[in-house]
Amino acid sequence: YANLPPSKQEEVEKLLGSSAEETWRQLAGELGYKEDLIDSFTREESPARALLADWSSKETATLDALLAALRKIQRGDIAESLYSESTATSPV
């Protein structure tokens, strides 16, 4: 994830943070985060960014792992946007 262009990272963070059901929380759970740590991300200005920054520092943080986790939480749309080469942002 850390190797992605900043525009891609921003796009993913926006998509994760923009949904009413707090998709980033579901993603955090899928990536193996415990509730208390997930709660600590909510104090950040951008919880999705805080989560992904923390996760991307781990050895297990691969793009494939992120894509798989996104698909598991029914957010294939975010996985697709990550996967696509275009930097077009979809209106939310």
Quote the crossing angle between the two packed helices 23-30 and 63-72, to the nearest 10°.
120
Kindly list the averaged pLDDT for each block of 10 residues, start to end, along the chain of length 92: 84 82 90 95 93 92 92 92 59 46
Q: Is the residue at 59 inside a domain?
A: yes
CA distance to 41, 43, 44, 45, per residue, from 67 (Å)? 21, 25, 24, 24
pTM for this model (two decimals): 0.80
CA distance to 20, 37, 51, 67, 84, per residue, from 29 (Å)? 17, 10, 11, 14, 25
**Residue 54 lies in domain:** 6-87
Q: Is the residue at 38 inside a domain?
A: yes
Q: Look up the CATH number of the domain holding residue 27.
A: 1.10.533.10
